[in-house]
Structure 1
């Protein structure tokens, strides 16, 4: 039975869901949990909550929190928790007391203070999560499911690390009709754990490592000018602050446009439908990414995005979220979709055509919108952690020389149609914020429009380049979010070329 604790002030009833709803809430949401913890379900907590108005007494509340935290880590390498799901359950009557009469939906934002402790030292990480517009039923309980990606943490020494949650706030807003508009906060609820609740989330064992960087792990970003890097006493670093007196243009690229397409990511297994939400306020960001593309027929490779002068990827992180609770028929499913664009500079390529003829050419890449999907499907031994990047691409050849002699291929020598590029990162690519190594194979179509003056060079390039089995490797560095007050990844750190030490 669901019980409520009313608090009355000036004739206004402010009620928050009681501890009696904890068991129901704990079954609502389940993620992978920490790899270091035996429990596969979410963490259920009881807390005392109150509004910002000091005249209102604290009341009981129930929450459920689910997060993947790596079981192990290495000194001076990022430890990346997340993605995170944080659910607050309120009765319809509770929300009616906080929102205007007639409200049909509510949006909310949760801010969690997470303590990171190791070897007698501690630091605080701020986890900011958002819940999309949630329809309000006539009665019953309403679950506000917040989700998002959170900062990484680095450690200067070995030892067990404890992640625990303490205080958190939840800001309630009325849903607005126009996308992108921001309604003023109607109520901010501040919550502290009840006595006896440890708030323990996970334990990570940090070791000195073997001197070899794990696959797809980016370099730890350098602190921006005026910021604070890792302390000399080898302490804990959680996103160093940016300089207060500077406001540089860290991301001189236009935000990505177009529609997301997550069709190449692992799809929702049969069962109950999932909640799908768009985040119109997701901030633009940018990152460096470089790579290699093998041409199977020519037994050679070309550099994608020259590390000496790379173009930035433009990203809108966590633009869409898809989630289904673990207890629902079909099982747990959680996916975050980010929209990106990458306008690559021309690549210079040199190959021995047919094994003996040196051919040089410039290759122009024409890319469509890029969708980066990260998430988890299922739980327990059968859990799948995935990372997929998908876009369509066309290639255009120009400035072709055969044995040093220019070959006029015309201005429209290109692949006959756009082809699919699907890159996968698995568990090595945690999320867009930290990045990592992505790889896949592409099938290059036949060529068209090659040749001038009646000379048809299409068969030559089709025979030399077209076909399956062409491997693509892309390594993305950490993402800079200029609107983030900490700007911990800004300026965008460089990306290592796949095959080098830190990108193996």
Structure 2
């Protein structure tokens, strides 16, 4: 059984400096975020961050799932973990160069794992999405991802406690090169008098045995995978994070973006549009359901129980911004380019209410534009997220009451149609993913039939028209060039289903 343990401690920053030499994730879409599971209210403490010319206030929230029990010699897997660092926009003005619109960050949290006087340190390296900087108010840098697992040689209570946290900030517009310096680095430690306690796991002997001995300690070497032996606790990166694997076996997307379906800036001064950026390559899973209004049924899109395809992303290709002090008020939009070659969907419907018809549907998608951002200033700021692309449907392998029906090889919608999905604040950014939905109007069908038989009217009458709802859920994005991001990407649940 897992226990959800949202833990927040006050932290004090003891060093803020510009550094070079650390490659960070150069740009992912961003929006609002949460540091804990929905319905959990962590306690937040605010402490001072010391700077060369004064101090700023910061809040660090830590939320992590830790198993309440474990067995000797068997892995105990904490996580996924979320570390949220909250700073004020005004304070960031003193740290970041003027004109910085989007910041990507990386958090490295040292977690002490102690049992019966022995201990080992685990390094939780977590990536944050490209966080847009609002004109005012607070800025939440939300870092999340998987963390190393732990094994023990002896029974007993194990304490997990947070130690030093290093936060590095970088412009999303910068390229992901080792020679490009970070804008600022904050090193924070728990406030004096606090122990940073996160969780306690009770480790028991393997059923039917007694395990004498002492704990065994080791820690994963910084910047690498694997483990280093110690006395009694073993901290190890899971095998699927080891070097040499390719978590994104897809090609980067190509094509042009079209953000015309995203929320546009209110009337006022024209916003500032950045030059087209190279973007940062990553991949994610997106699964969903498509309702066919006329048939009162649905089909699964990119079925997670089979061999789902990966969404390929070039994140933060362009930013569009306007300051809150400008006529029209604050506006921020971050556009990314994507592509997704979907596997065929299979479904069976009752046409005309009684005739069972099964078919496979192929999806021919154009370039995908993912836009997230916000309009206005607190307390009236509104977050938006839009995914749009053009699509053609092709129908094949049709059977009517189990009997094959030859529809030819070109039975498809007569023209491409626009798919526009909106997530509001539910889809925070391409890094964290989220839920989106929309409605499409399916065009008439053409090219259906063989041997002179025209089946276009049949499929047009059964499928074409408005009111067809689409529900999608995207998981977290893996960026292979940034080891702190969750790789391989996580598989989301189908919309409308509960997490096991």
Using the size of structure 1 for normalisation, the TM-score is 0.61
Aligned-pair CA distance for 1:316: 1.4
Aligned-pair CA distance for 1:437: 1.7
1:349 corresponds to: 347
1:363 corresponds to: 361
* Rounded Cα–Cα distance in structure 1 between residues aligned with 2:63 and 2:325: 28
Aligned-pair CA distance for 1:391: 0.7
* Rounded Cα–Cα distance in structure 1 between residues aligned with 2:57 and 2:330: 15
Contact 1:241–1:486 (8 Å) recurs in 2: no
The 5 A counterparts of 1:78-89 are 79=82
* Rounded Cα–Cα distance in structure 2 between residues aligned with 1:413 and 1:294: 20
Deviations 1:293-322 (A, max 9, x none): 110100111111122111111111222222
1:384 to 360, 382, 406: 382
Check if 1:437 corresponds to 2:429.
Answer: no
1:305 corresponds to: 302
Deviations 1:104-161 (A, max 9, x none): x99999867687999x9997767789899xxxxxxxxxx9xxx9986326899xxxx9
1:488 corresponds to: 486
Contact 2:101–2:321 (8 Å) recurs in 1: no
Check if 1:325 corresponds to 2:323.
Answer: yes
1:152 corresponds to: 144
Contact 1:350–1:359 (8 Å) recurs in 2: yes
1:273 corresponds to: 270
Check if 1:246 corresponds to 2:243.
Answer: yes
* Rounded Cα–Cα distance in structure 1 between residues aligned with 2:284 and 2:33: 28
* Rounded Cα–Cα distance in structure 2 between residues aligned with 1:385 and 1:77: 25
Aligned-pair CA distance for 1:473: 1.3
CA gap of 1:108–1:241, structure 2 versus 1, over 3 A, is farther
CA gap of 1:112–1:345, structure 2 versus 1, over 3 A, is closer
1:285 corresponds to: 282
* Rounded Cα–Cα distance in structure 2 between residues aligned with 1:402 and 1:316: 42
Aligned-pair CA distance for 1:331: 2.1
Return 313-322 or 437-446, whichever deviates more: 313-322
The 5 A counterparts of 1:38-117 are 47-48=51-52, 79=82
Aligned residues: 401
* Rounded Cα–Cα distance in structure 1 between residues aligned with 2:162 and 2:486: 22
1:336 aligned counterpart, secondary structure: strand
2:447 corresponds to: 449
Deviations 1:82-115 (A, max 9, x none): 99989657999xx9xxxxxxxxx99999867687
Q: Which runs of 5+ in 2 are unaligned?
A: 1-16, 18-30, 36-40, 67-78, 115-120, 150-160, 192-197, 200-223, 228-234
2:274 aligned counterpart, secondary structure: strand
1:262 corresponds to: 259
* Rounded Cα–Cα distance in structure 2 between residues aligned with 1:243 and 1:34: 26
1:460 aligned counterpart, secondary structure: helix
Aligned-pair CA distance for 1:408: 1.9
2:499 aligned counterpart, secondary structure: helix
* Rounded Cα–Cα distance in structure 2 between residues aligned with 1:273 and 1:131: 22
Contact 1:390–1:421 (8 Å) recurs in 2: yes
1:415 corresponds to: 413
* Rounded Cα–Cα distance in structure 2 between residues aligned with 1:163 and 1:114: 10
CA gap of 1:77–1:240, structure 2 versus 1, over 3 A, is same
Over the aligned positions, Cα root-mean-square deviation in angstroms equals 5.6
Contact 2:128–2:143 (8 Å) recurs in 1: no
* Rounded Cα–Cα distance in structure 1 between residues aligned with 2:321 and 2:168: 22
2:499 corresponds to: 502
* Rounded Cα–Cα distance in structure 2 between residues aligned with 1:352 and 1:152: 44
CA gap of 1:269–1:163, structure 2 versus 1, over 3 A, is farther
CA gap of 1:167–1:310, structure 2 versus 1, over 3 A, is closer
Aligned-pair CA distance for 1:357: 1.1
* Rounded Cα–Cα distance in structure 1 between residues aligned with 2:332 and 2:272: 10
Aligned-pair CA distance for 1:182: 7.1
2:396 corresponds to: 398
Using the size of structure 2 for normalisation, the TM-score is 0.62
Return 445-454 or 276-285, whichever deviates more: 276-285
CA gap of 1:62–1:488, structure 2 versus 1, over 3 A, is same
Deviations 1:2-38 (A, max 9, x none): xxxxxxxxxxxxxx9xxxxxxxxxxxxxx9899999x
Return 474-483 or 379-388, whichever deviates more: 379-388
Contact 2:62–2:84 (8 Å) recurs in 1: no
* Rounded Cα–Cα distance in structure 2 between residues aligned with 1:359 and 1:459: 16
